[in-house]
């Protein structure tokens, strides 16, 4: 497939000068129009070594208004990045709507390098590429424009280019001599690249192959292609492929649809005050010890709480945080998204809060707002909330696959108990802040929320991230069940010493964590393992 990038296309100096001014003007105008839209643009720059990727990116920053462009290179992983799922570093770099981000290699660099080095099989590579396809589809369905450039040249031209770069003291190539292995095995690298490009060349995020031998031709081609892609998107602002992106499950209709998974909960379950006090003391002591053990073992934990208004989420969370050293956790109350959060994919704000190895993040409400509040209140379109089930499942799979202990709690109470708690909040001065007009209004939509919760559990209670439904009418019983579930999960994770997804190590993430938190096999300053 790369034959088309080895035909010797060139552009003369005069032609380049004549075309450059008009192209730059049009790019700046397109960028100005882009700022007024909800379209984030991701430009991925990849290809063979020595093809001038850095020169192209410098040229784009010269032609565009750099106030709306950010550039990221993923060279060495920081300790902060190694302590989290691999895609955390990419989510942090995604642009807000109306702006452009240029990524060197992006999420393709590691899979290509690992397959080239024989660190994974073709099957493992294909599995990672499937994840990439779904990731890019998720971004494009949310409105993003992804423009992917692959720069290529013949083996002979690459050798000449690298020889020239090796004599340039300013060249990154001279600073990273380990990349020389790619040119030494040109055909092997090309075979891996072809597999990657063919597998991920999708209609919503296609690859553009660019012949890189002649710098003027290369730069003009990239600028014109980027301009055309932005213009096409501006002329058709609706995000492509608005399908749900997952197989549609058949949900019941008719009278049987009124019976939900929540109706199966025995809300009469309770615990005496004396037994509650004893069990709570035991469980809080245990969870404190387990939290420190998880910290030492570099096992992160994500606790996520959902439930009806006044269901007892806050009370359960306080019983957890009061037992754990405050340095080990962060509690994140999730409210309506800020303007900055609205400017990104809805999962962006949750990726930002993923804990580093050994720490705990507690979400009071979560990413499930997309299929609950946003669905019922009409804040998300049908296409948006329907495809969110698959997006959430993939998000959680990545968390668990990286070694995170993920627990999802739905705390449920009946309508009579909710009314009682609402009235108590209105009558008690220090609780009054908890009750709002929205809480009363939401009671009127109880059946709609019940239906949404039922479908949420059916579609997102997976083997690696199942829901724990908590009977919440009795606060004592609910709190004990929550803490007991956490303790049991942490003990199991620490005993197993592996992620919950057995053997889940994607081709792009060959960095299992050692007990010290450094990648397995890392050496100390004395060169010892």
When mean pLDDT is compared across 121-125, 473-477, 524-528, the lowest value belongs to 524-528
Do 281 and 192 sit in the same domain of this protein?
Answer: no
Phi, psi (5° rounding) for residue 40?
A: -85, 145
Do 186 and 320 sit in the same domain of this protein?
Answer: no
Structure confidence at residue 363 as a pLDDT band (50, 70, 90): very high
Structure confidence at residue 506 as a pLDDT band (50, 70, 90): low
In a domain, residue 464? The reply is: yes
What pLDDT is recorded for position 172?
54
Do 227 and 368 sit in the same domain of this protein?
Answer: no
What pLDDT is recorded for position 77?
86
Helix and strand numbers (H, E) in the chain are: 21, 10
Do 440 and 307 sit in the same domain of this protein?
Answer: yes
What pLDDT is recorded for position 10?
93
Confidence (pTM): 0.84
Residue 247 has pLDDT above 50, yes or no: no
What pLDDT is recorded for position 175?
47
- Tokens 């452009």 sit at which residue? 100
Please give the tally of structural domains in the chain: 2
Which one-letter DSSP state was computed for residue 354? P
78 C-beta neighbours (distance < 10 Å), count? 8
Residue 254 has pLDDT above 60, yes or no: no
Q: Which residues pair with 69 in a beta bridge?
A: 100
Residue 463 has pLDDT above 70, yes or no: yes
Average per-residue pLDDT in the chain? Answer: 87
Q: Measured between alpha carbons, how far is residue 177 from residues 46, 122, 228 in Å?
A: 18, 27, 36
Domain residues for 225? 2-235
Which CATH number do you get for residue 436?
A: 3.40.50.300
Q: Which residues pair with 149 in a beta bridge?
A: 45, 208
Strand ranges, E, within 292-354: 301-307, 329-333
Rounded CA gap, 460 and 257, in Å? 18
Kindly report, residue by residue over 322-337, the tens digit of the pLDDT: 999 999 999 999 999 9
Rounded CA gap, 161 and 164, in Å? 5
Can you tell me whether residue 72 is helix, strand or coil? strand
Do 415 and 473 sit in the same domain of this protein?
Answer: yes
Decide: 290 and 394 in contact? Cβ < 8 Å. Answer: no
Residue 229 has pLDDT above 90, yes or no: yes
Residue 282 has pLDDT above 80, yes or no: yes
In a domain, residue 243? The reply is: no
Residue 258 has pLDDT above 70, yes or no: no
Among 511, 377, 347, 2, smallest CA distance to 209 is for: 2
Of 198, 219, 235, which residue sits at a domain end? 235
Kindly report, residue by residue over 95-120, the tens digit of the pLDDT: 999 999 999 999 999 999 999 989 99
CA max distance for the chain = 89
Most confident of 132-146, 193-207, 438-452: 132-146
Q: Determine what percent of the chain is predicted with pLDDT higher than 70.
A: 87
In a domain, residue 67? The reply is: yes
In a domain, residue 84? The reply is: yes
Kindly report, residue by residue over 418-458, the tens digit of the pLDDT: 999 999 888 887 777 778 877 888 889 999 999 999 999 99
Residue 195 has pLDDT above 80, yes or no: yes
What pLDDT is recorded for position 181?
60
In a domain, residue 433? The reply is: yes
Can you tell me whether residue 410 is helix, strand or coil? strand
Among 86, 136, 133, 81, smallest CA distance to 113 is for: 86
CA 378 to chain centre: 24
Kindly report, residue by residue over 304-313, the tens digit of the pLDDT: 999 999 999 9
Rounded CA gap, 211 and 69, in Å? 24
Do 116 and 70 sit in the same domain of this protein?
Answer: yes
In a domain, residue 248? The reply is: no
In a domain, residue 99? The reply is: yes
What pLDDT is recorded for position 398?
94
Assign residue 521 a region (left: φ > 0; alpha: ψ between -120 and 50; beta: otherwise): left
Show the DSSP H helices in 117-266 as ranges: 122-141, 155-166, 172-175, 180-184, 186-200, 215-235
């Amino acid at each position: 497939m790369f034959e088309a990038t080895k035909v010797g296309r060139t552009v003369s100096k005069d032609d380049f000068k004549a075309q450059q001014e008009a192209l730059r003007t049009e790019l700046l105008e397109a960028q100005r129009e882009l700022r007024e839209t909800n379209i984030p643009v991701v430009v991925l720059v990849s290809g063979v070594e020595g093809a001038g990727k850095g020169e192209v990116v410098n040229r784009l920053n010269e032609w565009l208004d750099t106030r709306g462009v950010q550039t990221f290179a993923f060279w060495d992983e920081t300790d902060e990045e190694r302590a989290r799922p691999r895609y955390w570093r990419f989510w942090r770099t995604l642009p807000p709507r109306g702006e452009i981000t240029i990524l060197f290699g992006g999420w393709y660099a590691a899979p290509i390098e690992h397959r080239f080095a024989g660190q994974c099989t073709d099957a493992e590579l294909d599995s990672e590429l499937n994840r990439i396809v779904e990731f890019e589809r998720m971004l494009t369905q949310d409105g993003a424009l992804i423009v992917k450039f692959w720069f290529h040249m013949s083996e002979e031209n690459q050798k000449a280019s690298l020889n020239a770069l090796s004599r340039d003291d300013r060249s990154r190539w001279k600073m990273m001599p380990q990349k020389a292995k790619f040119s030494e095995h040109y055909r092997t690298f090309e075979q891996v690249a072809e597999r990657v490009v063919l597998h991920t060349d999708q209609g919503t995020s296609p690859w553009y192959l660019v012949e890189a031998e002649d710098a003027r031709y290369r730069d003009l081609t990239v600028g014109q292609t980027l301009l055309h892609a932005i213009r096409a998107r501006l002329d058709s602002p609706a995000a492509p492929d608005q399908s749900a992106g997952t197989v549609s499950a058949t949900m019941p209709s008719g009278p049987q649809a009124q019976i939900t998974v929540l109706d199966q909960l025995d809300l009469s379950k309770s615990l005496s005050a004396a037994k509650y006090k004893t069990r709570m003391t035991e469980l809080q002591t245990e969870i404190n010890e387990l939290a420190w053990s998880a910290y030492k073992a570099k096992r992160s934990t994500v606790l996520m709480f959902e439930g009806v208004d006044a269901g007892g989420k806050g009370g359960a969370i306080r019983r957890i945080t009061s037992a754990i050293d405050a340095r080990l956790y962060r509690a994140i109350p999730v409210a309506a998204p800020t303007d900055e959060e609205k400017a990104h994919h809805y999962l962006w704000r949750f990726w930002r809060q993923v804990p580093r190895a050994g720490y705990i993040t507690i979400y009071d409400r979560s990413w499930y707002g997309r299929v609950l509040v946003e669905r019922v209140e009409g804040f998300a379109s049908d296409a948006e909330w329907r495809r969110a089930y698959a997006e959430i499942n993939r998000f959680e799979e990545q968390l668990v696959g990286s070694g995170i202990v993920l627990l999802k709690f739905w705390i449920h109470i009946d309508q009579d108990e909710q009314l009682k708690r609402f009235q108590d909040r209105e009558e008690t001065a220090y609780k009054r802040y908890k009750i709002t007009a929205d809480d009363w209004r939401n009671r009127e939509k109880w059946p709609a929320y019940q239906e949404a919760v039922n479908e949420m559990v059916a579609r997102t209670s997976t083997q690696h991230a199942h829901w724990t439904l908590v009977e919440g009418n009795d606060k004592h019983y609910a709190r004990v069940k929550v803490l007991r579930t956490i303790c049991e999960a942490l003990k199991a994770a620490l005993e197993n010493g592996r992620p919950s997804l057995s053997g889940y190590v994607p081709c792009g993430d060959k960095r299992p964590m050692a007990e010290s938190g450094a990648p397995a096999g890392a050496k100390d300053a004395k060169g010892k393992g």
